[in-house]
Structure 1
Amino acid sequence: MINKLFMIFVVIGVPLSVIGSIMHWSQILMFVIYCLTIIALAGFMGRATESLAIISGPRIGGLLNATFGNAVELIISIFALQAGLTEVVLASLTGSVLGNLLLVGGLSFFIGGLKYKRQQFNIYDARHNSALLIFAVIVAFVIPEIFAQRMPEDKTLTLSIGVSIVLIILYLAALLFRLVTHRGVYQHKNDVSEEHEEPEWGKLRAIMVLLLSTVAVAYVSENLVHTFETVAEKFGWSELFIGVIIVAIVGNAAEHASAILMAYKDKMGVAVEIAVGSTLQVAMFVAPVLVLVSLLFSTSMPLVFTIPELVSMITAVFLTISISNDGDTNWFEGATLLGAYIIMGLGFYLL
């Protein structure tokens, strides 16, 4: 039913996005059309990555889902940087961290926990990810903010570039560690896919769907960025709220759908890999890449967040670590994460 609904939104939404942008329809109407179209396209990306997860295993499948899911947000953010909306981009990065850890993780634990009283995943992966989360969010994001208090803008940007390069190198090293040098060393019984399970699509078709969906998302995202100012004025939303909540939810729709589906199927290893792995990719790869890409535009973006953004991300990291470090989840832990997300979302709305 949901897949048919996504198909309808794609078939109708993509042509309407093209026609509406050419005919200059109402910005508010086009904002809604663009968001629904991106979410529907993300649904196709989720189905494709689910097929690839069955073929390739939970780690690679989760990585692919996070990568193509974050590709949506990366594309939106690059167009936003081109338009000079650096605050929206930084806010969307904050929203991705909060959305993946609290909203996606919370919904996955909650929905899966309603069906299964107890769900388990690889405890070694959980501890490995915990260390990386502390490094990426608390060390790499907080340090530039602290030092920026006593630095001119040019030195702050230089520091951000240096931090970004270190983050990218360490992220690539983490992939090498998990997928090559230590692949299979820390194995969990749930990491092994059931042999009788058949993917919905073959590898070639799944890859083609991912590529075509990403191209379509790129076009729609470019137009979506141009509606932000009108929408903000109409509804009284701040750039911070649009970035943290709206852009983050729309940009990460693929992960949202896939992680929840995996948890419902008791594939909690893949669900956690999507939620936490996507957060790590945002913090250690997407954010640094955006800092470097911003150098190509008139307005550069230092890796400096506001205090509310930093405190929210740090809180989300510690809460997620305390809940997931035992490799065991239930619906109440999911409800706790969701409660934290609602509280933070309310705070950003009222700022």
Structure 2
Amino acid sequence: MVNKIILIVIAIGLPLSIIGSFLQWPGTAMFGVYCLTIVALAGVMGRATESLAIVAGPRIGGLLNATFGNAVELIISIFALKAGLINVVLASLTGSVIGNLLLVGGLSFFVGGLKFKRQMFNVYDARHNAGLLMFAVIVAFMIPELFTLKMTPGEKMTLSIGISIIMIILYMFALFFKLVTHRGVYMTREEKEAAHEEEIPEWSKGKAMLILALATLAVAYVSERLVHTFEAVGEQFGWSELFIGVIIVAIVGNAAEHASAIIMAYKNKLDIAVEIAIGSTLQIAMFVAPVLVLISLFFKQEMPLVFTVPELVSMATAVLLTIVIANDGESNWFEGLTMLAAYLIMGIGFYLL
């Protein structure tokens, strides 16, 4: 029933999105159409991810979902960079970090916890990801803020380029570590038992990847159109540029993995949900952000990897709270609610800032 509703929304929403963009219908009217279409497409991406996870395992399935989901974020940010909206891009990166950790992670723990009193996920992965999160946000994002206090714009950009290259290289080694040299080394007993259980995927590997790719292209197109409605919607609702970047752009740009992670948690596949939420955060911080810094070199206005103090404090708080809650490899609905409460507090702060 749910799948039929999703297909109906896509069948109606996607043509309306294309027609509305060509006919230049009012942004406030199209805002809802674009959002509903993206959410429906995210549902399809969730089904494709689940099929891939059954075939390839939770790590690769989660990584693929995060990659396709972050491709949308990357595309939106490149358009914003081209338009010179540096602050919006940095704000959206901040929103992606706190959104993936607190909103997606929190909702996954909460929704899954309502159905299952206690959910388990790979504690070794949680501890490994904790170290990378600390490096990505605390070290690579906060240190430039301290060192660039008395630097010239040129020196800030040079430091940002150096940090970006190091982060991209380390991220590649992190993937090599998890997927090649230590694949299957840190498996829990539950994962080993599940590996012997045969589960039939809804779609074949080829079909799932094709649907995931097509859905990503559709989401990228609709998301790009949605960006053009933010100004009109912001004026109508009184939203600032910072709030739009941190909350709205981040939620819309990452809608695909949001839905997928929650669906996985509801089905008690918390390893995939955690891999999507935390893996996506790592990819944003260690790959997407550095790549955007390097891409900005080809535009008129360059983007140094320097965030504002509220953005840095929010990201550091999200990382530390996630590590404290997730480091034991267990979750329940109250822990998810705690993470959601933290996200709401930050959201109110950015709205009033």
Give TM-score scaled by structure 2 length: 0.96
Residue 174 of structure 1 corresponds to which residue in structure 2?
174
Q: How many residues align?
A: 351
Structure 2 counterparts to residues 318-333 of structure 1, below 5 A:
318-333=320-335
Deviation at 1:32, TM superposition (A): 2.3
Q: Deviations over 1:182-225 (max 9, x none)?
A: 11111113334463322111111111111111222222232222
Whole-Å separation in 2 of the counterparts to 1:276 and 1:323: 13
Whole-Å separation in 2 of the counterparts to 1:278 and 1:32: 25
Whole-Å separation in 1 of the counterparts to 2:269 and 2:350: 33
Are the counterparts in 2 of residues 62 and 277 from structure 1 also a CA contact under 8 Å?
yes
Residue 122 of structure 1 corresponds to which residue in structure 2?
122
| Root mean square deviation of aligned Cα | 1.3
Are the counterparts in 2 of residues 103 and 341 from structure 1 also a CA contact under 8 Å?
yes
2:12 counterpart letter in structure 1:
I
Residue 258 of structure 2 corresponds to which residue in structure 1?
256
Residue 95 of structure 1 corresponds to which residue in structure 2?
95
Residue 81 of structure 1 corresponds to which residue in structure 2?
81
Q: Deviations over 1:132-190 (max 9, x none)?
A: 00000010011111122111111111111111111110000000001001111111133
Residue 199 of structure 2 corresponds to which residue in structure 1?
197
Distance 1:230 1:102, change over 3 A: same
Structure 2 counterparts to residues 257-336 of structure 1, below 5 A:
257-336=259-338
Deviation at 1:281, TM superposition (A): 0.6
Q: Deviations over 1:18-41 (max 9, x none)?
A: 111111110111222222222222
1:336 counterpart letter in structure 2:
T
Whole-Å separation in 1 of the counterparts to 2:100 and 2:3: 22
2:348 maps to which of 337, 346, 349: 346
Whole-Å separation in 2 of the counterparts to 1:70 and 1:277: 11
Are the counterparts in 2 of residues 79 and 225 from structure 1 also a CA contact under 8 Å?
no
Are the counterparts in 1 of residues 28 and 233 from structure 2 also a CA contact under 8 Å?
yes
Whole-Å separation in 2 of the counterparts to 1:289 and 1:31: 29
Q: Which runs of 4+ in 1 moved over 6 A?
A: none
Whole-Å separation in 2 of the counterparts to 1:8 and 1:302: 43
Residue 152 of structure 1 corresponds to which residue in structure 2?
152
Whole-Å separation in 1 of the counterparts to 2:100 and 2:72: 14
Secondary structure, counterpart of 1:302 in structure 2: coil
Are the counterparts in 2 of residues 43 and 253 from structure 1 also a CA contact under 8 Å?
no
The yes-or-no answer on 1:112 pairing with 2:130 is no
Q: Deviations over 1:298-338 (max 9, x none)?
A: 22211111111110110010000001111111111111111
Give TM-score scaled by structure 1 length: 0.97
Secondary structure, counterpart of 2:140 in structure 1: helix
1:259 counterpart letter in structure 2:
A
Whole-Å separation in 1 of the counterparts to 2:147 and 2:31: 38
Deviation at 1:54, TM superposition (A): 0.8
Residue 68 of structure 1 corresponds to which residue in structure 2?
68
Residue 142 of structure 2 corresponds to which residue in structure 1?
142
Are the counterparts in 1 of residues 62 and 276 from structure 2 also a CA contact under 8 Å?
yes
Whole-Å separation in 1 of the counterparts to 2:47 and 2:161: 36
Residue 218 of structure 2 corresponds to which residue in structure 1?
216
2:71 counterpart letter in structure 1:
A
Are the counterparts in 2 of residues 91 and 244 from structure 1 also a CA contact under 8 Å?
yes
Secondary structure, counterpart of 1:149 in structure 2: helix
Whole-Å separation in 2 of the counterparts to 1:160 and 1:29: 40
Whole-Å separation in 2 of the counterparts to 1:302 and 1:15: 38
Whole-Å separation in 2 of the counterparts to 1:263 and 1:45: 15
2:66 counterpart letter in structure 1:
A
The gaps in structure 1 that reach 5 residues or longer are none
Q: Deviations over 1:234-256 (max 9, x none)?
A: 22111111111111111111111
Are the counterparts in 2 of residues 92 and 244 from structure 1 also a CA contact under 8 Å?
yes
Whole-Å separation in 2 of the counterparts to 1:111 and 1:169: 35
